[in-house]
Amino acid sequence: MPVAQAKPRINVTPTHVESGGAVYLLGTGFTPNRTVMSHLIRPDGSEYNPLRLRTDDRGEFSHKIDTTMVDLGTFQLWVEDEASRTASNRMQFTVE
């Protein structure tokens, strides 16, 4: 079974965005050529359905989050490496 080389890490850019803008999620250190589950928590504490994303041969991925249809407020985000069952750091971004 492949193993992630480093602790999975995510980053979001920007951390503050106007409603309708895009937030970019970047992940590194995940198991190469496998799937990860992205978890997004709304400002009210409820979670969107987790989103399955695929990593490349370097164990990296990127994903664009469209904020047009989301609530205003601060969101929490983390990603789980399905192969190693390892969770990334948590990040936050705010939609204003």
pLDDT at residue 2 in the model: 54
C-alpha dihedral (42, 48, 50, 56), degrees to nearest 10: -60
* pLDDT for residue 28: 98
| Domain coordinates in residue numbering, the chain | 1-42+59-69
Residue ranges of the chain with per-residue pLDDT less than 70: 1-6
Distance CA 91, CA 96 (A): 17
- pLDDT of amino acid 4: 44
Q: What is the pLDDT of residues 72-89, one digit of tens each?
A: 999 999 999 999 999 999
